[in-house]
Amino acid sequence: MLDVDLASLYGVPTKALNRAVKRNLERFPDDFMFQLTAEEFEALRFHFGTSNLRSQFATSKRGGRRYLPYVFTEQGVAMLSSVLRSRRAIQVNIEIMRVFVRLKRLLASHADLARRLDELERKYDGQFRMVFDAIRELMEPPEESPSRIGFH
C-alpha cells in the first residue's frame, strides 16, 4: 500500500507517517517497505490516471511532496502499528490485516477451484467429446436428396 493511502487511513499527514517510519528504520527492512522508482511512479500515474496521483508527487514549492512514494508490504503495514501508536492506527491496522487474510483465503480457494476444474476436464474429457461430436452432427445441414420433380 502507498504511504499516502496508509496515512489517509490512519488520519495522519503523509509527512508525519514517513517521519515516524524513518525514526524506526530498523523495523522496516526491504521486504516490509520500499520506495518507488520514478519509472514505477509514472506507471502508476498512467494506470490510475494523472489526476489521482498528481498531488502525491510534486516539488515542495507547490505544496506537494519532494520524494517518491513509499510502498508498504503486508508485513510493513503490520509494523506500522508499533510506530503509529494512536487508537485509530491500531484499529485500522487490525482491519487491514483482516483484509489481507481474506484475500489470501480467496486466492487459495480460486487456485483450488482452478485445479479441481482441470482435474474434471481431464477426467471427463472423453465423455464430453462424444457429446460435442453429437451436437456437431446435429448442426450439420442434411444431405440434399435428388429432386424428382422439375427439370434436370
- The residue ranking higher by pLDDT, 71 or 11, is 71
The whole-chain average pLDDT of the chain stands at: 78
pLDDT digits (tens, 9 = 90+) for 19-42: 999 999 999 999 999 999 999 988
Encode 102-119: b = buried (16+ Cβ within 10 Å), e = exposed: eeeeeeeeeeeeeeeeee
Q: How confident is the model at residue 3 (pLDDT cuts 50, 70, 90)?
A: very high
Percentage of the chain with pLDDT > 90? 27
The residue ranges of every structural domain in the chain are 3-107
Looking up cell 520506495, which residue turns up?
Answer: 35
- The residue ranking higher by pLDDT, 151 or 75, is 75
Could you give the residue ranges of the DSSP H alpha helices within the chain? 3-10, 14-23, 38-48, 50-53, 74-83, 87-139
Give pLDDT, residue 55: 47
Contacts with 21 (C-beta within 8 Å, 6 or more apart), sequence order = 3, 28, 33, 70, 80, 83
Residue 72 contacts residue 9 (beta carbons within 8 Å): no
pTM of the model: 0.58
